[in-house]
Amino acid sequence: MGSLLCFLLVIILPLCYCVDATCSNGKCKLNDECSSNGDCGTGLYCFSCPHGFSGSRCVRSSVTDQFKLINNSLPFNKYAFLTTHNSFAIGGEPPNRRVHRVTIINQEDSVTQQLKNGVRGLMLDTYDFDGDVWLCHSFGGHCHDITAFEPAIDTLKEVAAFLSANPEEIVTLILEDYVKTPKGLTRVFTEAGLMKFWFPVTRMPKKGGDWPLVRDMVAKNQRLLVFTSIKSKEQSEGIAYQWNYMVENQYGDDGRKAGRCPNRKESSPLDDMSKSLVLINYFRTIPLKPITCKDNSGGLVDKLKTCHGAAGNRWANYVAVDYYKRSEGGGSFKAVDKLNGKLLCGCDDVHACVPGSTSQACSAQKA
């Protein structure tokens, strides 16, 4: 009997250990429990969202590259891109003015890290300040010591470095623009080394037409799209006036209300088909970091469906969020996968599209 018991213990104990043991060393998958980032596989990180789940789980930290997964052979407006709201308003950024900063924070990764994780749209607020162009999260159209983050050229150089290191990537800058200095933006874009990537206004479609093919934009090295909120700069500096090319829903709390998707007051109605790009905002007026993980999950996808109808049955090209990596699992990354799936093959996830297809083709196994 004693020998039999020992034999059973030898067999059973290892089995119990395997059942109870958690994954580790990069082997944990999406939504698996984890104790550190090193436990999670590629494209994931270990995160706690008390408002969504207990403990820590592996959640997504990067975007699916739709160009490599499917193709880059369609017009630019046939794809969707993750966008960060106030990309420059980063927690933990040291003050540049030796003054304690008193303003709202919207992100927690550097712009370089945002780009590495697949963010392709950056929302930047540009101001005249201290004899230069600065990025500020301010009020009343004026930058102050307590609302200033950094000179715009610092962030623009990060974008230039990324585009240089990644010759097949395209980045969009959407400027809430308060710069009144003549050619002030042109100067900082030139000094940052970005003009060689500039997508010219003359190639932007009018009356809702399709944009050039992504592969052609890459071949011509015209991989930086820049939009300004000041109409006159399209003529004076060759910077595209956002509302000539894009529709956008209301931002903040009013834009988050369920079942509604009103347009931002500066934008024409979302179903204005003369504008071929659609931008959907989904973030609170005052960001609440601890609950953003929940906001970026189910509610975001629901909003995209509502706005699809409001935009004349068009899926968004840009989806803008705060704290873009925070979620209950897939979050903003899953939302962009859904958008690209709908745009590229009519399916609920881009991974269901037939690789290499340039038509509405869905994989039968994943549809």
Q: What is the average per-residue pLDDT within 303-324? A: 98
For residues 2 and 239, which has the higher predicted lDDT (pLDDT)?
239
What pairs with residue 33 in β-bridges?
A: 57
Residue 160 pLDDT: 98
Condensed to tens digits (0 to 9), the pLDDT of residues 234-282 reads 999 999 999 999 999 999 999 999 999 999 999 999 999 999 999 999 9
Q: Give the span between the Cα atoms of 296 and 279, in whole angstroms.
A: 16
Which residue type occupies 310?
A
- Pick from 112, 118, 126: which is nearest to 79 by CA? 118
Buried b (16+ CB within 10 A) or exposed e, 19-44: eeeeeeeeebeeebebeeeebbeebb
Whether the per-residue pLDDT at 9 is higher than 50: the answer is: no
Whether the per-residue pLDDT at 131 is higher than 90: the answer is: yes
Whether the per-residue pLDDT at 3 is higher than 60: the answer is: no
pTM of the model: 0.92
The radius of gyration of the chain's CA atoms, rounded to the nearest angstrom, is: 23
Q: Both tokens of residue 250? A: 């209301």
76 SS3 class: helix
Phi, psi (deg, nearest 5) at residue 279: -115, 130
Range with lowest mean pLDDT among 15-24, 146-155, 222-231, 264-273: 15-24
Residue 358 pLDDT: 64
Q: Give the span between the Cα atoms of 133 and 244, in whole angstroms.
A: 24
Whether the per-residue pLDDT at 16 is higher than 50: the answer is: no
235 SS3 class: helix
CB 151 within 8 A of CB 132: yes
Residue 7 pLDDT: 41
In terms of Cβ atoms closer than 10 Å to its own Cβ (0-12, 13-18, 19+), residue 154 is middle
Q: Kindly report the length of the chain.
A: 367
